[in-house]
Structure 1
């Protein structure tokens, strides 16, 4: 992915009379999109790749814009590209105009109610691979005129500036101007291989976990479990036999009979049905994690976005 040129916080609230542009020209949305791509990606080359054109053409378009506006938008050097003060203001205003234009187009497209075009979505690496892939497959069968571009990553994606239609996020949401729809919750449980439990000490309470080998997922280097059971809470801080940063790794290791781990129920239950895993201390687990679909606007949802979110909600309910 590219990098966005640095923009100072609060710029969007800067009084308009502090930075003046020469606007003796009509709005050219294609040119605006090119300039926005350059600022968002941080280079002419990456912007050209995103737009499916060549670097020289992107550079010419920006230069032509500067001539028409009578202002320098970007500062170029052999080593870096930076946005000027006037360019920063123009970028923020241009993004508002482009967003409004896209909303207008989406409102018109919504009348057809037929999902079509490219759906760009993002989700966490593990949840995307284990769950969202299935939703995408169902959606592509449901909407033959839609193509999907999915990026699974553990970084927090800025869906507006990076051009994504929807993000599937697990866990509490930060305050945001984005719209969100809750799809459901991920429930957890403690599990161990049945072979491990046959040879391990009996376990009847959370306190007994200290006598067992634990496989724990780390969070910022810390390995601990905050378990709840109704109104009761217990914190497990025992040193794990194995610490990993992946739920998939924890599942793989627990299946080898290495110890006890905590897993999402949707991941563990198929193995419980097969008889290879057993639930330990039923009722004790960390607090369920909410799952949301996050998108730019609930008022002007593109049919493909609305259709995909509805499918995700239905799939969650079915599970």
Structure 2
């Protein structure tokens, strides 16, 4: 089963053999034996290319889940007396990871040298079970699911600009005049054409027509620091700049209600040591 998964992911018997440090002949033998046992053709092979059958695709998805469960059971047993080991697959938002997560991963891998971290930086929501992800970090409202949720910290959206921009513009600073300002839009924001201020029934929606739209809060922050305009950004991106005076926080009295940053992982009977210990590391980091 591991040989088959390696072949599908590598799209090559040769590359799968290199990945598993086995001979190509042995990999081919394993996959052939698997097909004979199942009575189903999983792969179509020609001298030039290989493709996965429909049955093979469905079987591959199930294999990922089964092999992951086996790995977790074995890892849990080993961790009773040894260091956690194996690959820890994490999915997390890009800017949050770059600014906040790297120190946690650095310390974790230093403490647990037998664990390999595979981090996917993506702002899209992934299916943890289907894509074989051990743990994901999410910001904001969460959809109902069977995943286990652990809150790590709060996050506030803050409207900011540089002191130079504030000093050099003739446009008044009111919510109603915001559309007249040089607004820079972080396209990861949940509303795609407006900024929302205030809370509950008191919330005010301001239409924003930005000439600059970027799907990176860090990149938007760089434009703010150079005096290019105003933007609404997460607190973890701008907090240090506000504390040092490099950015000015605007309309604090109208800021939306804070939201949460969460760790999510599949509900399993056997939670592997690597996942459990990394969650503990995240909780400890955000308690500081």
Please point out which of 70, 73, 82 is paired with 2:52: 82
After superposition, the C-alpha distances for 1:149-207 in whole angstroms (9 at most, x for unaligned) are: 32323444444454433222233334444433222232111001111111224645311
- Which SS does the other structure have where 1:137 is aligned? helix
- Residue segments in structure 2 that go unaligned for 5+ positions in a row: none
Normalised TM-score (structure 1): 0.75
Equivalence for 2:270: 300
Equivalence for 2:205: 235
Cα RMSD for the two superposed structures = 3.2
Equivalence for 1:58: 27
Q: Which aligned pairs between 1:115-134 and structure 2 lie closer than 5 A?
A: 115-134=84-103
Paired residues, what number? 286
Please point out which of 268, 271, 274 is paired with 2:244: 274
Q: Which aligned pairs between 1:170-319 and structure 2 lie closer than 5 A?
A: 170-201=139-170, 203=172, 205-218=174-187, 222-229=192-199, 231-297=201-267, 299-318=269-288
Contact 1:203 1:281 in 2 (8 A): no
Contact 2:137 2:263 in 1 (8 A): yes
Contact 1:38 1:46 in 2 (8 A): yes
- Residue segments in structure 1 that go unaligned for 5+ positions in a row: 1-31
Q: Which aligned pairs between 1:152-167 and structure 2 lie closer than 5 A?
A: 152-167=121-136
The separation in 2 between residues aligned to 1:59 and 1:149, in whole angstroms, is 28
The separation in 2 between residues aligned to 1:105 and 1:262, in whole angstroms, is 46
Q: Which aligned pairs between 1:36-115 and structure 2 lie closer than 5 A?
A: 36-39=5-8, 43-44=12-13, 47-48=16-17, 50-53=19-22, 55-77=24-46, 78-85=48-55, 87=56, 90-91=59-60, 94-95=63-64, 97-112=66-81, 114-115=83-84
The separation in 2 between residues aligned to 1:48 and 1:290, in whole angstroms, is 44
After superposition, the C-alpha distances for 1:135-162 in whole angstroms (9 at most, x for unaligned) are: 1122234434434332323444444454
